[in-house]
Amino acid sequence: MLLIDSNSRGSRIAKNVLTVVIICAVFITAIYFKKGTVSDENDWATQQIETMQGIRQTAQDSVAFAQSMEDPDQYAAEIENVQQYITDYDQLAKTKEIQSITTHDPMQRAIGSLNRNRQQEAVSNMQVTARNLDEQTKTLLDAVDKTMSDDFTQHGGQWLLQVDDPTQVNELIDRYGKDRHYSSMQDLLTDLQSLQKLRSTVKQQVSDSVANLHNAEVSTAAIAVPALNGDLDPAGWYTLATNVAGTMGVQIEQTMEYGCGDQTSGLPQEFTVAYYCQSSDRAQRNVVHILTTHPSWTQTARSPWLVDVVKHELSHRSIMISCGTIQPAIAGDRTEAVTNSYSVLYLGADRGRIAEQQQGLAEYAMDEQSDQIASSIHDGNCG
């Protein structure tokens, strides 16, 4: 019979190897046994971290959005708060407990799961920071939203009068006219980005309308106007006035009574030779009205004064397109004088003829100040 000496060196080595194998087997078995019991917890933690990462990304995108606005300095405090919470979040995300959850290495995930309590604590700390970050993001986006809303409230009606095509302005009006509710900061950010894009489009359209207007004014001013009454017959003067208005994309309508609602010229109706209506009715935007019942209509219709009258009303329209109103703040109580100056400076109206025809009408009298104001309006300063 073969006998084995348990005290021999070979036996001791074999025993040690067997012990190591058994320990490793037990450890691996324990890990994979536990893996089955903690996989759901790992999946839950991973989902939570992915959700929080989405919150962090939205916060970062919100900062970038705020910084892209016209005056980002007004959001400096809110941006700083969001960035601080992003920093806090990123520091927590770098801890070994969180890294052991987000790693793609199965062994590292399994080893990390042995410190489940510490992992759960780390996730809990991240959730608190993520909630705070989400709240700060909302504060930032609410501030941006208020700025955009206030701008629309102040200028939306003006934009509607200024643009050549009101489609985008009407869309903006429709969107701001509805209650807006959001289920997440990402939804709020997406909507604000969309509104800002539409708002920027409208503002560009306003700029384009003003540029087109100025080009048309140059063409209008270049149209030669004879100096003497007898140079043209009444039909010729009316055709010339119609051509001047047409160059600006405007038509002349003859009427027998003033029809601008409660918008008045500030003078008795019998003094009103022609008028232009500032109206939300787009049909009125490109129309100048001439009162054929005016006592001096017959004389006006036979003279170059008719062209100057039309240019004055066209200047009301130009000022409206430039400023969103025919009575910009910069003009103060000198609206008519400034409009006369505008017609002389930019539409080629005759200064001397206007002064002669409007003698005694102080509010229409041009001077250096009215010229300066008209020039400022043309340059985009409406007060």
Q: Is the pLDDT of residue 33 over 50?
A: no
Q: Is the pLDDT of residue 323 over 90?
A: yes
Please compute, for residue 90, the number of CA atoms within 13 A of its CA located in the half-sphere on the CB side.
9
Q: Which residues have C-beta within 8 Å of that of residue 318, sequence separation ≥ 6?
A: 213, 217, 248, 342, 346, 347
pLDDT at 21: 47
Q: Is the pLDDT of residue 112 over 70?
A: no
350 three-class SS: coil
pLDDT at 336: 96
Q: Which residues have C-beta within 8 Å of that of residue 115, sequence separation ≥ 6?
A: 97, 100
Q: Is the pLDDT of residue 5 over 60?
A: no
Band of pLDDT at residue 4, cut at 50, 70 and 90: very low
Q: What average pLDDT does range 320-332 have in this prediction?
A: 97
Of 19-23, 31-35, 101-105, 172-176, which range is least confident?
Answer: 31-35
Most confident range (mean pLDDT) of 175-189, 205-219, 264-278 is 205-219
Mean residue pLDDT of the chain comes to 87
Tokens 């043309």 found at: 378
Q: What average pLDDT does range 315-339 have in this prediction?
A: 97
**Domain boundaries of the chain, sorted by first residue:** 12-153, 223-378
Band of pLDDT at residue 212, cut at 50, 70 and 90: very high
Q: List alpha helices for the chain, DSSP H.
A: 9-67, 76-93, 96-102, 106-113, 116-162, 167-176, 185-221, 234-247, 297-300, 305-323, 335-347, 351-357, 368-378
Q: What average pLDDT does range 226-253 have in this prediction?
A: 96
Q: What average pLDDT does range 22-34 have in this prediction?
A: 48
- The whole-angstrom separation of Cα 91 and Cα 215 is 58
The pTM of this model reads 0.79
**CA-closest candidate to residue 325, choices 252, 244, 383, 267:** 383
pLDDT at 47: 84
Q: Is the pLDDT of residue 320 over 50?
A: yes
Higher-pLDDT residue of 64, 38: 64
- The whole-angstrom separation of Cα 255 and Cα 253 is 6
Higher-pLDDT residue of 180, 202: 202
pLDDT at 40: 57
Band of pLDDT at residue 93, cut at 50, 70 and 90: confident
Band of pLDDT at residue 15, cut at 50, 70 and 90: low
Q: What average pLDDT does range 187-197 have in this prediction?
A: 97
Q: What average pLDDT does range 348-357 have in this prediction?
A: 96
Band of pLDDT at residue 224, cut at 50, 70 and 90: very high
pLDDT at 35: 47
According to DSSP, the residues that pair with 255 across neighbouring strands are 291
pLDDT at 1: 42
* pLDDT tens digits, 122-159: 788 889 999 999 999 999 999 999 999 999 999 999 99
Output the six-digit token pair for 371: 């010229």
pLDDT at 120: 79
Q: Is the pLDDT of residue 200 over 90?
A: yes
288 three-class SS: strand
Q: What average pLDDT does range 358-375 have in this prediction?
A: 96
CA distances, 82 to each of 68, 123, 134 (Å)? 16, 20, 9
325 three-class SS: coil
The angle formed by the CA atoms of residues 222, 224 and 228, to the nearest 5 degrees, is: 150
pLDDT at 34: 47
